Structure 1
Amino acid sequence: MQSMTIEQLRAASDAGGVEGVTLKGQGGAFFIQISTRSGSTALLAKARSNEPRRFGNPVAALNVLRDVGITIGQFDASEWNPAEKEETAGNRGRADAMRKAHQAAAYTEWLAAEIQESIDDPRPNISHDDVMAEMDADIAALMAEHKPAARKRA
């Protein structure tokens, strides 16, 4: 069976060379089968290979067909078995990438709110040197408290 990319399908459809399409379920995926006016049959292929393009969701396949300009076709789910649906590395990778993007967006939103809260704080600003001097004094006081306890143990 021949293969056809989306660009080739669009060109064939625009030229009137597509007789019909069938969204065909096979195993856990859907394929787009194309019947041409010349009598040949082809499967929609990935952009840079002859490997058939697999759709885990028939809605995604229908969206591709609609975007190409094909709005009428057939549906064959006789060999479709949703239990055989494969999760591909691409799907997992995309899910991980989306999860990380959402986490990054949430962090950015949180950080922006923290910064804005600091800017809006009505309390007077304290210089870095004053903060460091106060911290040094607190640390020295804590060290002084704990030194006698350490000597008693020895």
Structure 2
Amino acid sequence: MSAETIDHTTLSLLVEAGAVREAHIVGQPGGWAIMVRYGMLERPLAAQRSRNVRLFRRFETLVSYLKDIGIARFDVDSSNYTPDAINTARRPDRAEELKRAHEAAAYDAWFREQIQASIDDPRPSIPHDAVEAKFAEKCEALRKRMGNR
């Protein structure tokens, strides 16, 4: 495979422009790579962060990805595919972080619902100025009572 890669954005733009001539799915140890031919060039799709060749662990995920960006026809070379070589890099810390993120999002949604329910409450409310005046009266009465002792 070529050392130069293309990213998702570039691939999407090439598909949109009708410049993609062929797409090849190439089996690798541990997954499936996409080779895209456009013009006289053939480049593999790169992963977003690492810029290495992107490997899809599941073929179904790869097919969905290609269909979503507009590539419905492609050929498959499974000669080098070895499912036993899948190196699953598990990250238990990431799972815990995602769990906390989901809990925070659920709490945020609940909190916003409570605030909106308070805003939408049809019961009459007391204006802020009236509450402050009433509290000031109570404080003054308490001061007078404390001063008479």
Q: Which of 10, 13, 27 pairs up with 1:11?
A: 13
**51 and 69 in structure 1: CA distance in 2 versus 1, 3 angstrom threshold:** same
The match for 1:21 is 23
The match for 2:73 is 72
Work out the percentage of aligned pairs sharing the same amino acid: 24
How big is the shift at 1:96?
Answer: 5.5
Distance (whole Å) between structure 1 residues aligned to residue 93 and residue 42 of structure 2 = 33
* Structure 1 residues 43-58: aligned runs within 5 Å: 43-58=44-59
Gaps of 5+ in 2: 108-149
C-alpha distance after superposition, 1:33-92 (max 9, x if no partner) = 1111x22110011224531111111111111111101101111111001110110245x5
Distance (whole Å) between structure 1 residues aligned to residue 93 and residue 78 of structure 2 = 28
TM-score by length of 1: 0.57
TM-score by length of 2: 0.59
Query: Quick check: 1:23–1:76 contact (8 Å CA) kept in 2?
Result: yes
The match for 2:40 is 39
Matched to 1:68, the amino acid is I
Query: Quick check: 1:31–1:52 contact (8 Å CA) kept in 2?
Result: yes
Query: Quick check: 1:56–1:85 contact (8 Å CA) kept in 2?
Result: yes
RMSD, aligned α-carbons: 2.5
The match for 2:130 is none
Q: What SS does the corresponding residue of 1:67 show, helix, strand or coil?
A: helix
The match for 1:123 is none
